[in-house]
Amino acid sequence: MRKFVPAQKRVDVSPGESVRIIRELQGLSQTQLSALCGIPQTTISSIENSRVNLGVERAKVLATALHCHPAVLVFPGWQLESAA
């Protein structure tokens, strides 16, 4: 059996950028995401542009609307150390 090599990290992504990337991958506008989660579009814009902190509670609400785990949004660059 082949041993797989994990992918290397190429860029650092902020929590706001993570929200934007996942939103865009799902084909949602900020307005559509706002309607799904109840967070104002202006706040979503501010989060995506790092003018407002994401915060755990907002991450939970956004993660539910984006169908992902909140940790994906809050800790986008975090990696588990592999056990040898």
Helix (H) or strand (E) segment spanning residue 36: helix 30-37
Average pLDDT, the chain: 88
pLDDT value at 41 more than 70: yes
State the total domains in the chain: 1
65 domain residue, yes or no: yes
**Boundaries of domain holding 64:** 15-74
pLDDT-derived band of residue 79, with 50, 70 and 90 as boundaries?
A: low
pLDDT value at 33 more than 80: yes
62 domain residue, yes or no: yes
User: For position 75, what pLDDT does the model report?
Assistant: 85
Rg over alpha carbons for the chain, rounded to the nearest Å, is 15
68 domain residue, yes or no: yes
Question: Which domain CATH number covers 64?
Answer: 1.10.260.40
Residue 18 CB burial class (10 angstroms; 0-12, 13-18, ≥19): buried
